[in-house]
Every structure is written in C-alpha cells, then in structure tokens.
Amino acid sequence: MNGIDSPIFIVGIRRSGSTLWRRILEKNGDLAVYGEMQFLWPWEKDFPFFLRKYVGNLSIDENIKRMVDFIFSDHPPKIRLLELRWGFWETLRKNNDEELKEAIIKRITESNRSIESVFKAITEETTKHLGFQRYMIKFPVYFNHVHTLLEWYPKSKIVHITRDPKAISMSKKNDPGGTARLKSKYPYLSYLLEKAMTLFVVYQYNWSARVHNAYKSNSNYALFHYEDLLLDPEKTIKELCEFTGLTYNKEMLFPSKGRFSSIDGKRRRGIDKKSGIRWKKKITPFEKKFITFCTKKSMEKLEYDPTTHLIFRGGQNTLNDTLRGV
C-alpha cells in the first residue's frame, strides 16, 4: 500500500454539513484533505462513466496516458463536460506536475488496471506528492459503496455524517450546485423541483439509515451528527480524532470560512452554531410533518430520538438558549 493504508473517507447525504467537517480536518495538519471526488456515484456521471465515454479500455497503454492527460487538463469547459469537477479533481489540476502524472501512469500500468487500482494510484500518488502519508476524501463514493471502500482499504476509517432530514431538505431546495441551477434554468418548474428534491432527500435519508444499520458494529465505521458538532464542537472533534487516530489540536475548533449558505446566502467563518436551527425559518408546517412522518424510523436508527435529543427538545427558545450558552 506504499505506506497509505488507512485513509479517512467521509460519506453521507449531500447538504449534511460535509464541507464543515472537511474544513475542520484541514486544520489538523497531519493528512492531505481533499474535497468531493464522486468516484462511484449512482446519480452522477461518475469515473467509470468518464472512462467508458472518453477514454476506453485501460488494457491499452495509450488509454492510460489519455486518461491521465484528461484528468490534469486545464480546460474548464471540457472538464465540466467530463464531470470531473470540484474538490479532489481541482486539487489535481492545481498540482499539474509532470512527475506526479508519470508516477500515476506508471502505477496504473504496472497494476491490474482495475477501477480499484486506478483509485489507489490517483489518490496515493497525489498524497505522497503533497508530502503526506495519509489522506481524507469527502464523498469519494455514494454511501451505499461503503463495502467497496472497506474492501479496498480494510484499515480505512469511514466517517458517516448525518443531519436532521428536515434541515437537509430545506438546504437541498436551494442547493447552489444543483436545485438552484435547475430552478434558474427552468423557473416554471421551481415548485415541482423543490417537491421532487424533498422526496429525494427522504429516500436518501431512509437509505442511509439502512446503511448505518448494516455497518454500525464495524470498528472502522462511525456515525457523526452535524447537530452534535454544533452543540459541543470540542467534544465531537475529539471523538472524531479518537476514531480516526488523529492528534487533536485546538486549531480544529476554528475552521476557515465556508461556502455560501443555501439557506440565507451568507458565508461564515468557524463553526456557526445557529446553522442548526436557521432552516426552521424556511420550512412549512406541512413539510415539517411530512418529512418527520416519512423519516421517523430512520431518525431513530440514526440515533436521533425526538424525545431526548437536544436539537428536538423544548422548541425554538430552548434551543436558542442552549446555542447561546455553548
């Protein structure tokens, strides 16, 4: 494994606060931290799609070089067409180094050229090139592929993040990278698009609960709640470090400024405690009842107990008082 045998993978539903978790880990300093990769993804044109459509069979040496040249290509319109955008892929293009490219080509050429070998060559060679012996990737695969990650890296740490499904739904309704773009393109379908995204979140959330139920006894898997991070950052980050084997440092309590919020459009520095409740101003009474009804059992599986969890208890005033006191 060339010294990289225990990467950290963040998996979960989009709009669950994954960017905050990434920004926190960036402050650790002991590992290379990457953004989204979407290597295996059922809802997107993922890496296997890219290989089929634009590269061809990797048993041909020329196609391996072709693939690597595409990955490192600095032509945004074409890259977006290939769906190799955001996070991890942008890091590669910023480190467009011939030595790194040759290392990846050599590693893949000498391997069995499977999708696993390609993944390992790209991630591990990039990490070593950046001077690290360990890495973290956000959303390398969709959460139903947890078994794949554990097969590829038996010593890896799977950090499954989750959040209140009502909060995810309200965020998803105006997701800048998805729903908002569609609403701008098809304004006459805005209402239907929002409802469709709500149903999609409910489906995803229930699916993620089944995945958690399947892996919760695995020592290399752990579930973390966005709301717990907001309410007690130090305790939650220390638990994250203990699980992943990282050394805790206080800088992790002060992550850099995040992306623009899909709820109010603002960017905030650090851990914004009020993001745990801001979505409540956007949800309608019907949406609240509908989403709760459809996800109640899954919330229980994901360790959200409406009768005991602070985020649900005592209404808006109690939660506001708690957030002010944290």
Nearest-angstrom CA–CA distance, 145 and 42: 10
pLDDT at 258: 63
pLDDT at 124: 97
Is residue 67 a part of any domain in this protein? yes
Helix axes 190-215, 285-301, angle to 10 degrees: 20
Is residue 254 a part of any domain in this protein? no
Is residue 122 a part of any domain in this protein? yes
What are the angstrom distances between the C-alpha of 204 and each of 12, 146, 168, 316?
9, 15, 10, 27
Nearest-angstrom CA–CA distance, 33 and 46: 20
pLDDT at 313: 58
| Closest by CA position to 16, among listed 286, 276, 289 | 276
Is residue 201 a part of any domain in this protein? no
User: Helix-strand-coil percent breakdown of the chain, rounded to 5?
Assistant: 55, 10, 35
Nearest-angstrom CA–CA distance, 40 and 107: 21
- 154, 7 contact by CB (below 8 A): no
Range 264-298 burial, b when 16+ CB lie within 10 A, else e: eeeeeeebbbebbbbbeebbeeebeebbeebbeeb
pLDDT at 306: 62
DSSP 32-70: EEEEE--SB-TTS--HHHHIIIII--TTSHHHHHHHHHH
Is residue 47 a part of any domain in this protein? yes
Nearest-angstrom CA–CA distance, 41 and 110: 26
Nearest-angstrom CA–CA distance, 248 and 218: 23
Is residue 296 a part of any domain in this protein? no
Is residue 291 a part of any domain in this protein? no
Cα dihedral value 50, 54, 57, 62, nearest 10: -120
Mean pLDDT by 10 residues, the chain (326 residues): 80 92 94 94 87 92 94 60 73 87 97 97 96 95 96 97 93 78 82 90 96 97 94 95 96 81 64 82 92 94 75 51 49
- 122, 51 contact by CB (below 8 A): no
pLDDT at 300: 92
List the 157-162 sheet strands across, edge first.
32-36, 135-138, 8-12, 157-162, 221-225
Nearest-angstrom CA–CA distance, 296 and 292: 5
Q: Domain containing 117: what range?
A: 39-131
Nearest-angstrom CA–CA distance, 89 and 83: 10
Half-sphere exposure in the Cβ direction for 250 (13 Å, CA) = 0
| Closest by CA position to 200, among listed 234, 172, 232, 230 | 172
Is residue 20 a part of any domain in this protein? no
Six-digit token string for 158? 């799977």
What is the number of domains present in the chain?
1
C-alpha triplet 254, 260, 262: angle, nearest 5°: 120
- 233, 239 contact by CB (below 8 A): no
